[in-house]
């Protein structure tokens, strides 16, 4: 069994407490590696190393173009190690190897994208109204960044957080999820070869309330970028406020996938099925509420049932598998519990609703793709994030009602809209209170397009050019060009 070590200041080190945690293969239900149980002391060492790297280490002295070159090397090494990293991710979180492979391609490209941005971070000269005063802005790295990530796409989160942070000139301490830390540690092992100076990219693994909480509380951390549940996000936001840290939060969702009567119903059905059963529904962007026009509700439900029936559960490493296991035992219990809640509230199960068993379904963490009807939007099943393969179907009569139901949740991450009318697509895109609208598609991600949530789904944006601003402070400088004595500064100029 692989026994990992922490990655601090460019070196592999044992955890201060001398303890390790088992990490499980959710498909087999067996531990396959051990990750260090980092504590507050490990976090302090990592943060101090990051701080040194940013102040007097070689990182601080590099030009932006030199930073970019190192980041390109990181992209190259991701390409070179993609297969190995994808296999580790699939083994650790139970998602399909095919999906992790495809993510690894985007991850390398994300590193190239922000590598190219590193030397294009510019300030501005401002032609102000004051005489004899030259004003300009400088954009400076915000400071040490703490990146706390979820288990469902570990290296994707590392890329969309750390690539813009490094482009900005920051140093990072990553605390990956205790359920899937291995790929982040393996990735850290590539940094020396890429030429990244020690201390710029540190990884402290361990439990959320221990290593994670210590990182969030640490005085020398300037910025927290977090992906995870809204409950943890709220706790982190509260703690960060005490030391006035900057915070970006990528949290959960209860996203509507909205199908109009004029849509290509076959295409929409394929999108709805993939949008909720892909990754066993363990996506922040899961389209867990299907809002469908009442005139096509029955025929559309029939299409869904046919497609969902063919969804193949099994070994995430098998290319024929569509859906793998639920990643963790608590999450598995939670999904089944929500199905019980829905039934108790009056929802009717027309597909699935139970643990999935059968040949090849080992490890005991499979849930049948589940479709619920007779759901009203006020039910808990329609309001709370399940993070599993559970779809609730709700009918609507017109566009205005679709918008009202679509927006009537605490979350605001993404929405799907299926229609052939360009006017309706535009109206819906404007009316939905979400960070991303997908029209006639679903789960389309690009590191070039900003992603993030409104309302309880979080704050700040990842991906795209804007993301780099999350890791920068703007400094304004005003210089008097007057050779004479300064004017009366007792009066504000
Ligand atoms: P989680 O909140 O349980 O854990 C996320 C991270 O926070 C982990 O590294 C964990 O160790 C750490 N953590 C836990 N408690 C902590 C504490 N008290 N202090 C500091 N850190 C702590 O989330 P999860 O189960 O790993 O991920 C699932 C959630 O993530 C879902 O709600 C999902 O919607 C969300 N998610 C959001 C996005 C997005 O981009 N918006 C993407 C993927 C997942």
Report how far residue 306's alpha carbon sits from residue 302's, in angstroms, rounded to the nearest whole number.
6
380 CA to middle of ligand 1, Å?
A: 21
Going from the Cα of 308 to the center of ligand 1, the distance in angstroms, rounded, reads: 28
Calpha distance 28→31 (Å, rounded): 9
Q: Which pLDDT score, from 0 to 100, does residue 226 have?
A: 98
405 CB neighbour count, 10 Å cutoff:
19
Contact 46, 12 (CB under 8 A): no
CB 194 within 8 A of CB 74: yes
Ligand 1 pocket check: which of 150, 175, 221 to mutate, most ligand atoms within 8 Å of Cβ?
150
Q: What are phi and psi of 309, to 5 degrees?
A: -60, -30
Bridge partners (DSSP) listed for residue 140: 473
Q: Report which protein residue has its CA nearest ligand 1's atom 11.
A: 208
Closest CA to 412 of 382, 451, 454: 454
Question: Distance, CA 485 to ligand 1 centroid (Å)?
Answer: 57
- Please give the Cα distance from 224 to 216 (Å, whole number): 7
Question: Would the CA dihedral through 30, 34, 40, 44 be positive or negative?
Answer: negative
Burial degree of 1 (CB within 10 A; 0-12, 13-18, 19+): exposed
Coil, helix or strand at residue 230: helix
Which residues are near ligand 1 (CB < 6 Å)? Answer: 148-152, 175-178, 208-209, 212-213, 216, 227-229, 232, 235-236, 250-253, 284, 385, 387, 413, 453, 458
Ligand 1 centre to CA of 355 (Å) is 24
**Phi-psi region for residue 363, left (φ > 0), alpha (ψ -120 to 50) or beta?**
left
pLDDT values of the chain reduced to their tens digit, one per residue, 493 residues? 899 999 999 999 999 999 999 999 999 999 999 999 999 999 999 999 999 999 998 999 999 999 999 999 999 999 999 999 999 999 999 999 999 999 999 999 999 999 999 999 999 999 999 989 999 999 999 999 999 999 999 999 999 999 999 999 999 999 999 999 999 999 999 999 999 999 999 999 999 999 999 999 999 999 999 999 999 999 999 999 999 999 999 999 999 999 999 999 999 999 999 999 999 999 999 999 999 999 999 999 999 999 999 999 999 999 999 999 999 999 999 999 999 999 999 999 999 999 999 999 999 899 999 999 999 999 999 999 999 999 999 999 999 999 999 999 999 999 999 999 999 999 999 999 999 999 999 999 999 999 999 999 999 999 999 999 999 999 999 999 988 877 778 888 7
Sign of CA dihedral 250, 252, 254, 256: positive
Domains, the chain, ordered by start: 2-251+457-476 (3.40.605.10), 256-439 (3.40.309.10)
DSSP 8-state code for residue 469:
G
The pLDDT value given to residue 281: 97
Beta bridge partners of 371: 351, 391
**Could you tell me which of 438, 429, 480 has the C-alpha nearest to residue 130?**
480
Kindly report the number of other CB atoms within 10 A of residue 3's CB atom: 10
Residues known to be catalytic: 250, 284
Closest CA to 291 of 377, 175, 177, 361: 377
Q: How far is CA 470 from the centre of its chain?
A: 15
CA distance 172 to 191: 13
Residue 243, token pair as written in the block: 């030391």
Q: What is the pLDDT of residue 492?
A: 81
């Amino acid at each position: 069994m692989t026994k990992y070590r922490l990655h601090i200041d460019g070196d592999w080190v044992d955890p201060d407490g001398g303890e390790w945690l088992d990490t499980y293969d959710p498909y087999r239900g067996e531990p396959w590696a051990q990750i260090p149980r980092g504590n507050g002391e490990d976090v302090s060492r990592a943060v101090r190393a990051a701080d040194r790297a940013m102040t007097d280490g070689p990182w601080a002295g590099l030009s932006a173009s030199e930073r970019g070159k190192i980041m390109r090397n990181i992209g190259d090494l991701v390409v070179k190690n993609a297969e190995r990293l994808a296999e580790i991710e699939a083994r650790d979180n139970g998602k399909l190897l095919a999906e992790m492979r495809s993510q690894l391609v985007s991850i390398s490209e994300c590193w190239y994208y922000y590598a190219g941005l590193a030397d294009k971070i510019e300030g501005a000269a401002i032609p102000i109204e004051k005489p004899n005063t030259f004003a300009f802005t400088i954009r400076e790295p915000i400071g040490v960044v703490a990146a706390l990530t979820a288990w469902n796409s570990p290296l994707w989160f590392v890329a969309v957080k750390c690539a813009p942070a490094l482009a900005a000139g920051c140093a990072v301490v990553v605390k990956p999820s205790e359920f899937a830390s291995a790929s982040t540690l393996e990735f850290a092992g590539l940094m020396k070869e890429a030429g990244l100076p020690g201390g710029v990219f540190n990884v402290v693994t361990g439990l959320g309330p221990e290593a994670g909480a210590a990182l969030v509380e640490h005085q020398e951390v300037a910025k927290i970028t977090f992906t995870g549940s809204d409950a943890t996000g709220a706790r982190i936001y509260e703690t960060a406020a005490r030391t006035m840290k900057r915070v970006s939060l990528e949290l959960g969702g209860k996203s509507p996938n909205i199908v109009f009567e004029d849509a290509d119903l076959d295409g929409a059905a394929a999108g709805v099925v993939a949008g909720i059963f892909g990754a066993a529904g363990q996506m922040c962007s899961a389209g867990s509420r299907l809002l469908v026009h009442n005139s096509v509700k029955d025929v559309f439900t029939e299409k869904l049932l046919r497609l969902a029936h063919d969804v193949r559960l099994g070994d995430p490493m098998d290319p024929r598998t569509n859906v793998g296991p639920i990643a963790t035992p608590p999450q598995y219990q939670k999904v089944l519990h929500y199905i019980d809640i829905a039934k108790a509230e009056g929802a009717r199960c027309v597909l699935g609703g139970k643990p999935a068993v059968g040949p090849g379904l080992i490890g005991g963490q499979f849930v049948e793709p589940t479709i619920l009807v007779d759901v009203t939007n006020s039910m808990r099943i329609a309001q709370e994030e399940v993070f599993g393969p559970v779809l609730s179907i709700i009918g609507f009569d017109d566009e205005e009602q679709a918008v009202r139901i679509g927006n009537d949740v605490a979350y605001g991450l993404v929405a799907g809209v299926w229609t052939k009318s360009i006017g309706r697509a535009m109206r819906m895109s404007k009316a939905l209170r979400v960070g991303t609208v997908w029209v006639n598609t679903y789960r389309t991600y690009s590191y070039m397009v900003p992603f993030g949530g409104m309302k309880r789904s979080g704050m700040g944006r990842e991906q795209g050019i804007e993301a780099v601003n999350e890791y920068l402070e703007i400094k304004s400088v005003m210089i008097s060009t007057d050779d004479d004595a300064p004017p009366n500064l007792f009066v504000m100029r």
